[in-house]
């Protein structure tokens, strides 16, 4: 039921208005002055307030002004009831925030019509508020889901990286182990030759050389010669050292990634960061592409959140590898190529990630940076990679990310990052726009 609050210091008017409104189906709350009207407005939550202008303690205009100054009460429509419709009270009341007025003596039909009008506006306002609350709840839920999805994608990405790095470390560890086992056997053969040679030498010094001793030395020499140790041992040592260097290179790249997980911007070496990203995700591109880099010498450091920059490069490298994998499967060629370039360009550092993949079809080019948009089958992509890259570059770092593509020939993503942080640029995590 619609509730009307009436404030009037004249008991007969108050009684008359109460009777009329109740007959029209309204619930009525009454007050004898402006101060009490404000108190009842706070506790009763009426749909409309009828305020007499001339009241003791606090008149209707002051009461209206205070009602409209309170954010909780401001939406309640106020109709001033005045006996001086032609004077300045009407102007003052409307300036104080009143929504309408009626003049005494008033006609019941006019008062009823004006009540219906302002109550309708109030209900529309309340409906809009409910819709807004619903929309805010939906937006909050969407952000929560985006946050959960982004977290899941990040965990999936970390798991994929970890599996790839484990493979990259395991392969050199295996041939390091194979070479060490070979060297162990070779050392056993050499130890046999050294021992036999020592016994032969002692026999020579003592002047008593047994025939079996000479045969033992000859057998040891043949064993060493049959394994071709003079060639194989240096090769085994070299391969083991190369394996150690490969593991160390991967570990250094991972260490750099782990140290880049802060949230604050810091000057970074773009070339080194890209090289680390290439090493870390090698398992994702090595079977479908060769990777080359072309960095302008003496590139300046640029202010970035290192972990976020690494994520952008990783996403673009993965995207390139997936596009090339599709092209390789379609054309039957052994491998494609990814080229990463970096150069200074008019106050920015420009980074280009070029691939020889399938290109981006024209009908979806306008959507590649949209959150959750993906052309891959369910379970093979969340559509967040390029959206996250766009948010990090544009919103988090004040840069730009664009692309140039030709269907069937490949795509080039172009990132431009400013050499200096812009005044007022946010320093916090850019993915808050998507939810993290």
- 43: domain CATH number is 3.40.50.2300
- pLDDT score of 176: 81
Read off the CATH number of the domain in which 292 is found: 3.30.565.10
Residues 237 and 293 both lie in one domain: no
Residues 53 and 89 both lie in one domain: yes
Residue 334 sits in which domain range?
259-433
Cβ–Cβ < 8 Å for 13, 25: no
Q: Identify the domain boundary among 78, 106, 134.
A: 106
Evaluate whether residue 119 is within a structural domain: no
Total structural domains in the chain?
A: 3
Mean pLDDT of 358-375: 80
- pLDDT score of 400: 94
pLDDT tens digits for range 112-149: 888 888 888 888 888 898 999 999 999 888 888 777 76
pLDDT tens digits for range 149-206: 666 666 666 666 666 667 667 777 777 888 788 888 777 777 777 877 777 777 777 7
HEC string of 291-315 equals EEEEECCCCCCEEECHHHHHHHHHH
Evaluate whether residue 225 is within a structural domain: yes
- pLDDT score of 414: 95
Short-list 101, 29, 30, CA closest to 61: 101
Residue 222 vs residue 138, higher pLDDT:
138
pLDDT band at 54 (very low <50, low <70, confident <90, very high): confident
Residues 50 and 181 both lie in one domain: no
| Alpha carbons 339 and 294: distance in angstroms, whole number | 7
- Does this model's pTM top 0.85? My answer is no
pLDDT band at 426 (very low <50, low <70, confident <90, very high): very low
Q: Identify the domain boundary among 247, 274, 306.
A: 247
Evaluate whether residue 153 is within a structural domain: no
**Per-residue pLDDT for 411 more than 50?**
yes
**Per-residue pLDDT for 375 more than 50?**
yes
Evaluate whether residue 154 is within a structural domain: no
Evaluate whether residue 143 is within a structural domain: no
Helix axes 108-206, 229-258, angle to 10 degrees: 160
In the numeric block, the tokens 């490069």 are attached to 313
**Per-residue pLDDT for 243 more than 80?**
no
Evaluate whether residue 139 is within a structural domain: no
Residues 384 and 281 both lie in one domain: yes
Residues 98 and 229 both lie in one domain: no
Q: Identify the domain boundary among 247, 271, 287.
A: 247
Residues 332 and 278 both lie in one domain: yes
Cβ–Cβ < 8 Å for 83, 54: yes
Mean pLDDT of 337-348: 92
Evaluate whether residue 416 is within a structural domain: yes
Residue 348 vs residue 211, higher pLDDT:
348
Residues 335 and 208 both lie in one domain: no
Mean pLDDT of 33-51: 91
| Alpha carbons 380 and 20: distance in angstroms, whole number | 69
**Per-residue pLDDT for 408 more than 60?**
yes
pLDDT band at 434 (very low <50, low <70, confident <90, very high): very low
Residues 243 and 313 both lie in one domain: no
Short-list 54, 14, 107, CA closest to 4: 14
**Per-residue pLDDT for 38 more than 80?**
yes
Residues 227 and 265 both lie in one domain: no
Read off the CATH number of the domain in which 207 is found: 1.20.5
- pLDDT score of 433: 39
Residues 405 and 266 both lie in one domain: yes
| Alpha carbons 274 and 280: distance in angstroms, whole number | 10
Q: What distance, in Å, lies between the first and last C-alpha atoms of the chain?
A: 45
What sign does the CA torsion over 59, 60, 66, 72 have? positive
Residues 369 and 236 both lie in one domain: no
Evaluate whether residue 146 is within a structural domain: no
Residues 315 and 189 both lie in one domain: no
């Amino acid at each position: 039921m619609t509730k009307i609050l009436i404030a009037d210091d004249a008991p007969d008017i108050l009684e008359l208005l109460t009777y009329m409104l109740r007959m029209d189906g309204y619930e009525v709350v009454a007050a004898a002055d402006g101060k009490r009207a404000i108190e009842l407005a706070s506790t009763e939550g009426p749909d409309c307030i009828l305020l007499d202008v001339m009241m003791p303690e606090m008149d209707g205009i002051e009461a209206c002004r205070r009602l409209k100054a309170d954010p909780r009460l401001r939406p309640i429509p106020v109709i001033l009831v005045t006996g001086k419709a032609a004077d300045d009270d009407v102007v003052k009341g409307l300036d104080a925030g009143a929504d309408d007025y009626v003049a005494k003596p008033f006609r019941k039909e006019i008062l009823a019509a004006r009540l219906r009008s302002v109550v309708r506006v109030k209900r529309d306002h309340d409906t809009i508020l409910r819709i807004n609350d619903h929309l805010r709840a939906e937006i909050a839920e969407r952000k929560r889901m985006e946050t959960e999805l982004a977290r899941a994608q990040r965990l999936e990405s970390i798991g994929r990286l970890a599996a790839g790095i484990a493979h990259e470390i395991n392969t050199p560890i295996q041939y390091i182990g194979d070479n060490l086992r070979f060297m162990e056997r070779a050392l056993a053969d050499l130890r046999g030759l050294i021992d036999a040679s020592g016994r032969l030498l002692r026999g020579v010094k003592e002047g008593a050389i047994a025939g079996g001793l000479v045969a033992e030395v000859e057998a040891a020499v043949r064993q060493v010669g049959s394994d071709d140790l003079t060639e194989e041992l240096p090769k085994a040592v070299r391969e083991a050292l190369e394996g150690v260097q490969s593991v160390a290179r991967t570990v250094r790249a991972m260490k750099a990634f782990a140290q880049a997980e802060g949230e604050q911007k810091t000057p970074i070496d773009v070339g080194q960061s890209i090289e680390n990203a290439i090493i870390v995700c090698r398992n994702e591109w090595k079977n479908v592409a060769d990777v080359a880099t072309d960095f302008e010498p003496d590139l300046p450091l640029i202010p970035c959140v290192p972990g976020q920059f690494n994520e952008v490069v990783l996403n673009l490298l993965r995207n390139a590898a997936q596009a090339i994998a599709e092209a390789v499967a379609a054309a039957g060629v052994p491998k494609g190529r990814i080229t990463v370039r970096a150069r200074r360009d008019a106050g920015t550092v420009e980074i280009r990630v070029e691939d020889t993949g399938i290109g981006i079809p024209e009908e979806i080019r306008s959507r590649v940076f949209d959150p959750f948009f993906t052309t891959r089958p369910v379970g093979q992509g969340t559509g967040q990679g390029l959206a996250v890259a766009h948010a990090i570059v544009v919103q988090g770092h004040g840069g730009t990310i664009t692309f140039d593509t030709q269907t069937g020939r490949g795509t080039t993503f172009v990132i431009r990052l400013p050499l200096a942080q812009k005044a007022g640029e946010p320093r916090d995590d850019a993915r808050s726009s998507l939810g993290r």
